[in-house]
Structure 1
Amino acid sequence: MARGPWGRMEPVVAQAGISGREAEVLALVGVHLSNAEIGARLYISVRTVETHVASLLRKLGAADRRALAQVAAEWSRAARGGRAASGLPAPVTAFVGRARERAELAAAVAAHRQVSAVGPGGVGKTRLALAVAADAAGDFADGVWFVDLVPISDPAMVGAAVAAAVGIGEQQGRGIDESVVAALADRHALLVLDNCEHVRDGVAPFLERLLAGCPRLTVLATSRARLMVPFERIHPVPPMALDSDAVDLFADRAAAAGWPVPPEQRDQAAEICRQLDGVALAIELAAARLPTLGLDGLAAVLPDQLRLLTGGARANGRQRSVRAMLDWSNALLEPDEQTLLRRVSVFAAPFTADAAGQVAGFAPLSPAAVVDGLSRLTEQSLLAAAPATGGTRYRALATIRQYGLSQLSAADELSSVQGRHLDWCLASARSLRDGPADGPWRARFDAVADDLRAALGSASGPPAHRLAAALAGLAFSRNLVGESQQRYEQAAALTDDPVAAAAALRSAAAVAGCRLLGDDMYRLHRAAAALSGAAADLATAAITAYRFSGAFTHLPPADEPAALLSAARSLAGDDPAVALAEAAVQADTFGSDQGPSSNAAAATLVAATRAVDLARGAADPLAVSAALDGLAGAQSWAGDSFGAAATARGRIELLSSVPATPASMHELTDALVSGIDTALGIGDLPTARRWSRRLADLPLLAEVGHYGLSWLLMTDALAGSVDDETAARFLEAWERTGRLRAPRLAATAAAVAMVHGLRGASRDPWLSIADELGATPERSTGYGAVFDAMFLLHHGRAAEALDRLAPEPEEVWKWVTWIWLHWYVALRAEAAVLSGHPAARSFIAAARAVVAGNPIAGAQLDRAEALLDGDRDGVLATAARFEAAGCAYQRDRTATLLRNRA
């Protein structure tokens, strides 16, 4: 890997005790890659990435992954000559007091699987939880993770927030919640969920699944109310002790504001703290007022202000004190400052001054007044400011934000401000859509994503549809494919326009295809057809059941896709999609079950060729790609392996210049698989390996790493070697899915088993994996026969190899076409020669008619014939040909065969 950001950061990180590999991980966290994406980029396992991230969090004192990304960004700037940075910015304020509560909460965390720190708003739950988590970090081998739920407005997004904080992406066949549970199933870690109360309906069921599926995980939650989940241990967080901690906090914050409290005035400070009920937030807000009021002035006015609010029958004293303190702080603001505070409360995530100007900068505020007002609100502790990539960002604590929203409603500004916030979100989404999708793009998306989601929660009508569709596209670009599908479906539900809804559903289906969810693809294409009534949608739904049958959990009844196709044909028989669907059905139903000389195979080829012509006439590259897929299949069934490979290659070339969309990326992924298969089928290992590497490196497949790595392992195995680290990553990624059944990948496990057998190790563990993946006797007739024969021939058991390859190719045509036909007949001829079969020469002749042009199979047949003729020089000459073809194993086997024949 190119050293990239790490190369620039090296002098800086060396001072922090961070290893070179950790620095590489840190640099990639800085460009907002998930753990799976980092693992794919660095060619290490996801578990190894998680270990490095946990180590970085401890070494750098970062609270969460977002803070870690900020460290990387600052160090990268420092390495390029920007301002010096030595780690995360120091906390704005120190943690004061609470020694007893800190120890008690730490003991609860050590003794119980789920602890909820419960108390009223502003009491100090978050600061206490973070302090305890930092103390406990060394007790958890897999680290401590902090998840801020304040920006989350949709309870269904709780799991996604956890995934983002931990660096987990969605896994094959699972939603994001299930993916989190699977990824953390064996982790010994502490998860801190902060501010749960407003999404408690989402937190509770998520935690119940998480704790049931992750027996070594501990969760520390902060909330204003208990979560009501199994395993929960309630730990009330009381106000600060009035005679000590509260006064110490007041004195610390007063000193920070430039107004130290002398010893003789501590009693007066204690009285102020008593009136504030020891609530940390109220104390901090009061201390921030000392520079303008002084201690005497504060003591004089505070009692009257606290009596202004009774809080109603359901508010206890402490809650009334916080609300009263906020009312009092708000009353002391200038009118423009009051307006700004309530308007910026609409932001769900930290925001810039420019964003605040666009949303809050309207009468009576000017955009210029917004910038000055943000500074004054920060000085008065009503906002927090922190440096970030792209400039300072401001945020309000959850309690203050909720207060601001209530003031917005009281001022009858909620609708107008939310409307401006929605406009800002739409503009931000357009800017992201039109900008370059590089590392900074990811940071820009992450900075506004929570606001886009929050705005969508309160929007309606056409703007809501536009925002949902925009967020869907952005989430796809960010590799949040589960959310992308969800948002496309949401966009379809948010519009009354059937054309727009059908378009959104088609995109949702394409994303489902990228997620390898065939059932969802089929359902969504049928839903699009129901809205549009278009023949193309009906045909696409039908063809999905044929083209992508391996991605289904439950295939629809056989007559159902046929009925859809019939309906499509009746609407528009000449539509390219209909012709393509018919060709695919013919290929799957007829040509694959009969030999290459059958009339059905010929008819299929004619239909597939017609579909390509029609698609090209429509000038739709994706329709052409789908038609070429059908043509490659038809060519394979007809015995034209080289034609199939050329068609697959053309398909990849076509798609390489098509803009990235869910539909085009789904086609490209499928095209790469087809290209690899057909290249392997004609012995073109260099091309197969190049495309395998490209497939494995697709960011879209980072979370289903076993799928991306599968063909790389297969290609290497056919060359006679397998990288053990790659095999381990394949196995780990598959286990992260819960060892889902995937028959298409069983051949990979069988290939790795074969290489283990060539090394003299047991094949059994990987053959068991192949069985669990879904190997069947029928499929094993193809790849199973090839890999078994290679293993048997390697160990001198030629007669057994010939028995394994006994069926004539025409008898098992469906299972030895595509990849395995050339390998099958060449190995069969070699086994016949080495076993002394009397018809060995006829085996060679029959195979030559099939493999002509295949560099590996051709050399293998020439070697077999030279062995049969006793032509030592002829045998030796084939070694260079195997070398040129990239097949090191057969090159080395040539020398072994010569030694055995000497």
Structure 2
Amino acid sequence: MGPVAAQTGISGREAEVLSLVGEHLSNAEIAARLFISVRTVETHVSSLLRKLGAADRRALAQLAAEWSRAGRGGRPAPGLPSPVTRFVGRTREQAGLAAALREHRQISAVGPGGVGKTRLALAVAAQAAGDFPDGVWFIDLVPITDPAMVGSAVAAAVGVGEQQGRGLDESVLAALADRHALLVLDNCEHVRDGVAPFLERLLAACPRVSVLATSRARLVVPFERVHPVPPLSLTGDGESDAVALFLERAAAVGWPVAAEQHEQAAEICRRLDGVALAIELAAARLPTLGLDGLAAVLGDQLRLLTGGARAEDRHRSVRAMLDWSYDLLDEADRTLLRRVAVFVAPFTADAAAQVAGFSPLDAFAVLDGLARLAEQSLLVAAPSAGGTRYRALETIRQYGVERLSGSGELHDVRLRHLRWCGASAAGLAEDPRPADGSWRARFDAIADDLRAALGWAAGAAEHRADAYRLAIALAELAFTRNLVGEAQQRYEQAGALAGDDALAAAALRSAAAVAGCRLLGDDMYRLHRAAADAAARAGDKAGAARAMAAAATTAYRFSGTFIQLPPDEEPAALLAEARELGGGDPLTEAALALAEAAVVSDAFGSDQGPSDNAVAATLAAAERAVELARRAGDPLAVSAALDSLAGARAWAGDSFGAAATARTRIEMLSAVPVAPASMLELTDALVSGVDTSLGVGDLATARGWARRLAELPLLAEVGHLGLSWLLTVDALAGEADAVLDAGGRFLEAWERTGRLRAARLGTPAAAVAMIHALRGDDDARARWLAFTDRLGATPERATGYGAVFDATVLLHRGEVDAALERVDAEPEQLWKWVTWIWLHWYVGLRAEAAALAGHPQARARIESARKVVAGNPIASAQLDRAEAILDGDRDRVRATAEAFAAAGCPYQAARSRTLADP
């Protein structure tokens, strides 16, 4: 039916559905047969009715029957073996091979062993039988060991005996001279020297005979048209062909795979590279292993993928199939296949020469051998930006490594591979990194080999130093590639592999910085402590003191990124120990001063609010930290100290000073070379920039830095964090559509990355809840507030962002008394986090609620707030509006809309108009 159906523009899956409609199966039966949902079948049937102009399902069945007869030509194909299992998938390959067969007389279906060449050829031959009125014959060449006997095998299949005065070959040619027939020659690879001359004579003497051959290598005859047969597809609109075959064979052995397990089945098929034989043998093991067990043992496919007795011994196991191919090679090509099996990713000829090009192979023998192995379908050759790359399917690679071990060369070849990986990593580190993605492509091309070589070297005591160097190199490359999770892992691995404690301490410090870039406070704290221990073991007191101080600072400075903060007394104890170690050098003194400033600033963390003495002490400590950092001449130390100063200024009520300090940090860090520690500072500076800009009502600047955060490649693996600041800014502005769109992506990313509790995420979650409330969707608001609770409660939720968002919603609804109660606390008595970002928003809402309620202290609150928010365009407009409300002046209320609009706050602009014209 395929070629006829294809002319109508229907898809391969639709053709399968149509064929089963022709068998009068119900939608449910079709769904079960094709392993798709009933709804998907209904969609395909509707599409077929439309495309084919059929009136109803009965008309579709009639069309299917007519096309099936047309495809068969109305006659059977007795010369073909009857398949014992259903042919699955390969719609595109089947159509392509059939089309090639119609246009060319000799087609070679070429692919690796076990890929399914024979089944595909049989399916196409059966479909094309009607086009060959004089017959279709199948000739299996596996039993033929003498190339001179190819003609005899064809004669036996066609039923031609030796004629007097003629040999069998001539008898076959004479018998087929005027016939319009098709010969299917299967498994030609081991007798190519006999097949090629026979076919050349056959095609010249029999002009109406066509040949469909299957082989692991092309036949190299004049009329040949090569048609590559790839592994089964691993992706598709519905189930992939590989998964469809797995599900079919699983059902056949009494182990149907549930729909919720299809993705697990797909992963198994991916690990088997879509090789049909491997998939069939794997499915046969389900009754004894199950899906989980099967997935767990796929690392040893050669042992796993064995079957029972089969008609052909070479298909009893993957190993037997590969033994067949391996034995066809000459010794040089066997050696090369073994050696290149250490590559786990596609490799170039130059890489192969460096790893495999030693006695008895030279560089030319490697290049020549790669071409022959590709021709034999033992390697796949594909063009790439860096030149042709070669790849072995996983089963072939495992087989090659097994043979390499048996030859006694495994250690030497792996060592050469390790050295090639080290040199490649060093070269990649020195390469320019243009914005066109070419550097990333070069990294991706070798990354899997770097990882494999590192895994081997790390397990070999004599190569521990090599493993350390490769781990450091891979960590740096992964960080540049924005694989920050792997970068942290590799730095930690390097710390464990380092034979020198000083090297271990350096690696662990880098790991801590990467953890900071990922906003993982717990890991940052743990790794700084581990770096301190390593430095102490190395006798580096100053290094140990700096690392201890860094751990103590992290507990305070990055507390919002922790899942579980350490006990209060622990960071203080670390700082005390660091002071005892001392060091005396400027950098250590700057680190100690920064930790001391963090400890002093923690005095704000009380219900009673900061005292004047505490404010002065915090400012003094922060300013001293900045001075010492500048004296040390380290821009990263200066940045960290400026962060402390920005916090101290905000807590002292100097919100504009805090915003200016954050801007200074960002500008300074933009010129610092990219490295884990510098990117940690830049990320934190941008966060501080967003927060402090929000605090002074500068929404444009806050949004610009929030977008820069959202676009940071380093935050790609935690996309919800990248979106969180932008969500908060847009929510405060009242950009409802933007918030709801980004909110969905925020939640999806959070779920995808493990649903970690992180109190810092409470602000954007509550911001989304506020927007839902302003739109009147209380159910959605309740869901987002429940999500906020899951992220972890903080004082900021009670009296910071929670108070601001709740009061905004209550005022929007006209619940003035409730709003007044929500922001009733005196600003001076609030937790430090309120004075960090939310002070101006809080006092503005507090004054407006008092004005709307006619509170006796309303004017006093407005005047008091003006002293705090002077220079903040949004808070100032809100106070102007509150005063106009008190005076009953609707024109002045309406006029504030323009000020809000100019400040980029459309929600408050609309609210002014609503309050003026209720």
TM-score, normalization: structure 1?
0.67
The separation in 1 between residues aligned to 2:426 and 2:323, in whole angstroms, is 41
Match of 2:301 in 1: none
The separation in 1 between residues aligned to 2:382 and 2:729, in whole angstroms, is 50
Do the aligned partners of 2:509 and 2:528 also contact (CA within 8 Å) in 1?
yes
1:847-880 deviations in Å (ceiling 9; x for gaps): 0110111111111112222333344554343222
Q: Name the amino acid aligned to 1:440.
A: S
Match of 1:740 in 2: 756
Counterpart selection for 2:391 from 374, 384, 395? 395
Q: Residue 524 of structure 1: CA displacement?
A: 1.3
Q: Name the amino acid aligned to 1:699.
A: P
* 1:676 aligned counterpart, secondary structure: helix
Asked whether 1:138 is paired with 2:238, we answer yes
Match of 1:503 in 2: 506
Do the aligned partners of 2:346 and 2:389 also contact (CA within 8 Å) in 1?
yes
The aligned runs of 1:368-517 (5 Å cut-off) are 368-406=364-402, 408-409=404-405, 412-435=408-431, 436=433, 438=435, 439-459=437-457, 460-517=463-520
The aligned runs of 1:675-694 (5 Å cut-off) are 675-694=689-708
Q: Which has the larger radius of gyration?
A: 2
Q: Residue 461 of structure 1: CA displacement?
A: 3.0
* 2:268 aligned counterpart, secondary structure: strand
1:512-560 deviations in Å (ceiling 9; x for gaps): 2233332222221111111113211111111121122233233222222
1:599-627 deviations in Å (ceiling 9; x for gaps): 01110110011101111222222212211
The aligned runs of 1:480-879 (5 Å cut-off) are 480-533=483-536, 534-572=544-582, 575-590=589-604, 595=609, 598-722=612-736, 723=738, 724-762=740-778, 763-776=781-794, 779-879=797-897
Q: Residue 815 of structure 1: CA displacement?
A: 4.1
Q: Residue 845 of structure 1: CA displacement?
A: 0.9
1:765-785 deviations in Å (ceiling 9; x for gaps): 222222222235663211122
The separation in 2 between residues aligned to 1:401 and 1:510, in whole angstroms, is 38
Do the aligned partners of 1:475 and 1:484 also contact (CA within 8 Å) in 2?
yes
TM-score, normalization: structure 2?
0.66
Q: Residue 501 of structure 1: CA displacement?
A: 1.0
Q: Residue 759 of structure 1: CA displacement?
A: 2.0
Do the aligned partners of 2:305 and 2:317 also contact (CA within 8 Å) in 1?
no
The separation in 1 between residues aligned to 2:817 and 2:645, in whole angstroms, is 38
Higher mean Cα deviation, 705-714 or 662-671? 662-671
**Do the aligned partners of residues 895 and 221 (structure 1) sit closer, same or farther apart at CA in structure 2, a change above 3 Å counting?**
farther
* 1:191 aligned counterpart, secondary structure: helix
The separation in 2 between residues aligned to 1:897 and 1:795, in whole angstroms, is 12
**Do the aligned partners of residues 197 and 187 (structure 1) sit closer, same or farther apart at CA in structure 2, a change above 3 Å counting?**
closer
Do the aligned partners of 1:632 and 1:644 also contact (CA within 8 Å) in 2?
yes
* 2:390 aligned counterpart, secondary structure: strand
Q: Residue 751 of structure 1: CA displacement?
A: 1.8
Higher mean Cα deviation, 461-470 or 407-416? 407-416
The gaps in structure 2 that reach 5 residues or longer are 1-8, 12-39, 45-108, 124-214, 216-227, 247-258, 274-278, 296-303, 458-462, 537-543
**Do the aligned partners of residues 740 and 100 (structure 1) sit closer, same or farther apart at CA in structure 2, a change above 3 Å counting?**
farther
Q: Residue 670 of structure 1: CA displacement?
A: 2.0
The separation in 2 between residues aligned to 1:559 and 1:775, in whole angstroms, is 21
**Do the aligned partners of residues 528 and 223 (structure 1) sit closer, same or farther apart at CA in structure 2, a change above 3 Å counting?**
farther
Q: Name the amino acid aligned to 2:314.
A: G
Counterpart selection for 2:337 from 338, 341, 361? 341
1:586-606 deviations in Å (ceiling 9; x for gaps): 112347665465201110110
Q: Residue 388 of structure 1: CA displacement?
A: 3.0
The separation in 2 between residues aligned to 1:639 and 1:864, in whole angstroms, is 22
**Do the aligned partners of residues 190 and 220 (structure 1) sit closer, same or farther apart at CA in structure 2, a change above 3 Å counting?**
farther
Match of 2:539 in 1: none
Match of 1:278 in 2: 314
* 1:192 aligned counterpart, secondary structure: helix
Q: Residue 226 of structure 1: CA displacement?
A: 9.3
Do the aligned partners of 1:591 and 1:638 also contact (CA within 8 Å) in 2?
no
**Do the aligned partners of residues 401 and 729 (structure 1) sit closer, same or farther apart at CA in structure 2, a change above 3 Å counting?**
closer
Match of 1:155 in 2: none
1:392-449 deviations in Å (ceiling 9; x for gaps): 2112344544454455456654444333222221122123223316422232222211
1:97-121 deviations in Å (ceiling 9; x for gaps): 459999xxxxxxxxxxxxxxxxxxx
The separation in 1 between residues aligned to 2:557 and 2:775, in whole angstroms, is 37
Do the aligned partners of 1:688 and 1:715 also contact (CA within 8 Å) in 2?
yes
* 1:764 aligned counterpart, secondary structure: helix
The aligned runs of 1:70-149 (5 Å cut-off) are 92=111, 95-97=116-118, 131=232, 138-139=238-239
Q: Residue 228 of structure 1: CA displacement?
A: 4.5
Do the aligned partners of 1:326 and 1:400 also contact (CA within 8 Å) in 2?
no
**Do the aligned partners of residues 711 and 364 (structure 1) sit closer, same or farther apart at CA in structure 2, a change above 3 Å counting?**
same
Q: Residue 676 of structure 1: CA displacement?
A: 0.9
The separation in 1 between residues aligned to 2:532 and 2:366, in whole angstroms, is 50
Q: Residue 232 of structure 1: CA displacement?
A: 5.5
* 1:385 aligned counterpart, secondary structure: strand
Match of 2:72 in 1: none
**Do the aligned partners of residues 146 and 444 (structure 1) sit closer, same or farther apart at CA in structure 2, a change above 3 Å counting?**
farther
**Do the aligned partners of residues 100 and 230 (structure 1) sit closer, same or farther apart at CA in structure 2, a change above 3 Å counting?**
farther
Q: Name the amino acid aligned to 1:547.
A: R
**Do the aligned partners of residues 370 and 492 (structure 1) sit closer, same or farther apart at CA in structure 2, a change above 3 Å counting?**
same
Do the aligned partners of 2:546 and 2:578 also contact (CA within 8 Å) in 1?
yes
Q: Residue 457 of structure 1: CA displacement?
A: 2.2
Q: Name the amino acid aligned to 2:845.
A: L
* 2:917 aligned counterpart, secondary structure: helix
Do the aligned partners of 1:535 and 1:571 also contact (CA within 8 Å) in 2?
yes
Q: Name the amino acid aligned to 1:808.
A: E
The separation in 2 between residues aligned to 1:702 and 1:146, in whole angstroms, is 36
The gaps in structure 1 that reach 5 residues or longer are 1-14, 18-50, 56-89, 103-123, 148-183, 199-217, 243-273, 280-316
Do the aligned partners of 2:891 and 2:916 also contact (CA within 8 Å) in 1?
no
Match of 2:180 in 1: none
* 1:792 aligned counterpart, secondary structure: helix
Do the aligned partners of 2:697 and 2:875 also contact (CA within 8 Å) in 1?
yes
The separation in 2 between residues aligned to 1:770 and 1:837, in whole angstroms, is 32
Q: Residue 843 of structure 1: CA displacement?
A: 0.8
Q: Name the amino acid aligned to 2:769.
A: A
Higher mean Cα deviation, 442-451 or 838-847? 442-451
Do the aligned partners of 2:797 and 2:803 also contact (CA within 8 Å) in 1?
no
Do the aligned partners of 1:608 and 1:627 also contact (CA within 8 Å) in 2?
yes
| Overall identity of the aligned pairs, in % | 62
